[in-house]
Amino acid sequence: MLRTIVIAAAAFAACMPGASQAQAPAERGSYQLAVEPSYPPEQAREVYKPLLEYLEKETGQKFELVAVRNYHFYWRDLRGEADIDFAFEDAHFTDYRMKRDGFVPLARKAEPSVFVLMASPETADQGLSGLIGRSVVSMPSPSLGFATLAELFTNPVSQPEIRSEASTWRDGVEMVFSGDAVAAMVPEFIAQQYPNLVEVARSKAFPGAAFSASPEVPEDVRQSVRDALLKLTEDPASFDILAELGMSAFVAAEPDEYDGSESILSAFFGYTPPN
């Protein structure tokens, strides 16, 4: 069942029109920043607006947020080499861009990326086997939450019904409270905000989501963005920015930290091994 969902959803995205023709930042007048569709596009623009304003103030550059509707479109654009200068995304996507497009990690969340499967106490007491055949909600494939949830259920005939219609990670928790699902896979920082739900399982820890830059971005611009992110906590507005993103600070990111993370994408339609 789970494999069928993955293939069908990704195949739909593969049939959509491809990314627009590449255009240099000088022609656009701004640098394009891609972020994962953890929020609907309009909400994402509000969430990331303070961060973009901070970067513009610190670097003297202009930034434009690229926010797509869902993870299927995000995966399509990533595979289609969409016109992106910077990206802020989880480890599997960061490594994918590194291997194929030469992106360079600049800074990452200080906290690792961990996803937690949460349920009510009575459901959690039954463990993973108690979720087989029942509704479990996650953001769509190939988000890191969906990918790590799939790894918890390796038997193709003993799986939950994966529901991926949530628009945000927090929506998954609300679906549990409303009775539309019995469990939700969410980032750890969100799980910590709901003590009335109980952990059923958790993913392994991945390096924190990273800010990476295209090799086409001039070195001085890359360095100015990196420096700005690393000193973000010195800005008076940083608390609101960091709290919304579920992190305490940005720290330096190294390519070796992400090496191999993209392999979790191998289960999804359209994946090809790096050269």
The secondary structure of 153-215 as a DSSP string is: ---TTS--EEE---SSHHHHHHHHHHTS-SEEEEEHHHHTT-TTSEEEEEPPPBPPPEEEE-T
Give me the pLDDT at residue 24, please. 63
Tell me, yes or no, whether 60 and 77 share the same domain.
yes
pTM for this entry: 0.90
| CB-CB contact of 33 with 164 (8 Å) | no
Q: Residue 19's pLDDT is what?
A: 39
Query: Has residue 237 got a pLDDT over 70?
Result: yes
Domain count, the chain: 2
DSSP H helices, 25-101, are 25-28, 41-59, 71-79, 91-101
Q: How confident is the model at residue 165 (pLDDT cuts 50, 70, 90)?
A: confident
Look at 2-16, 47-61, 218-232 and tell me which has the smallest mean pLDDT: 2-16
User: Nearest Cα to 202, choosing from 119, 118, 263, 93?
Assistant: 118
Residues 108 and 119 in one domain: no
Please check the confidence at residue 16 and state whether its pLDDT lies above 60: no
Q: For residue 19, what is the DSSP state? A: P
131 lies in the same domain as 245: no
Residue type, 256: D
What is the rounded CA–CA span in Å between residue 224 and residue 37? 26
Same domain, 106 and 132: no
* Strand-by-strand arrangement of the 63-66 sheet: 63-66, 31-35, 86-89, 210-213, 104-109, 250-252
pLDDT reading at 115 higher than 80: yes
Residue at 194 is within a domain: yes
| Number of residues that make up the chain | 275
CB-based contact 250:231 (threshold 8 Å): no
Residue 272 maps to a domain: no
Reported confidence tier of residue 136, pLDDT bands at 50, 70, 90? very high
CA–CA separation, 69 and 129 (whole Å): 33
Report yes or no: 142 and 269 within 8 Å, Cβ to Cβ. Answer: no
Considering the domain architecture, whether residues 107 and 151 belong to the same structural domain is answered as no
Q: Are residues 150 and 81 in the same domain?
A: no
The whole-number pLDDT of residue 17 equals 41
Percentage of the residues of the chain whose pLDDT score is greater than 70? 90
CA dist 123 to 160, 193, 198, 215, Å? Answer: 13, 19, 9, 48
Give the confidence band of 26 by pLDDT, cuts at 50, 70, 90: low
pLDDT of residue 27: 63
CATH for 103: 3.40.190.10
Residue 51 sits in the same domain as residue 175: no
Q: What is the mean pLDDT of residues 129-134?
A: 96
Answer whether residue 52 shows pLDDT above 50.
Answer: yes
Place of tokens 């392999």: 263
Task: Look at 259 and 24; give whichever has higher pLDDT.
Answer: 259
CA distance 244 to 44: 11
- Report, as an integer, the average pLDDT of 120-142: 96
Q: What is the mean pLDDT of the chain?
A: 91
Q: Please compute the mean of the pLDDT values over residues 238-259 and round it to a whole number.
A: 95
pLDDT reading at 244 higher than 90: no
In DSSP terms, 108 is beta-bridged to 210, 251
Regarding whether 226 and 90 lie in a shared domain, the answer is yes
Residue range of the domain that includes 142: 115-202
Q: Residue 159 in contact with residue 132, Cβ under 8 Å?
A: yes
Cis check: omega of the bond before 142, within 30 degrees of 0: yes
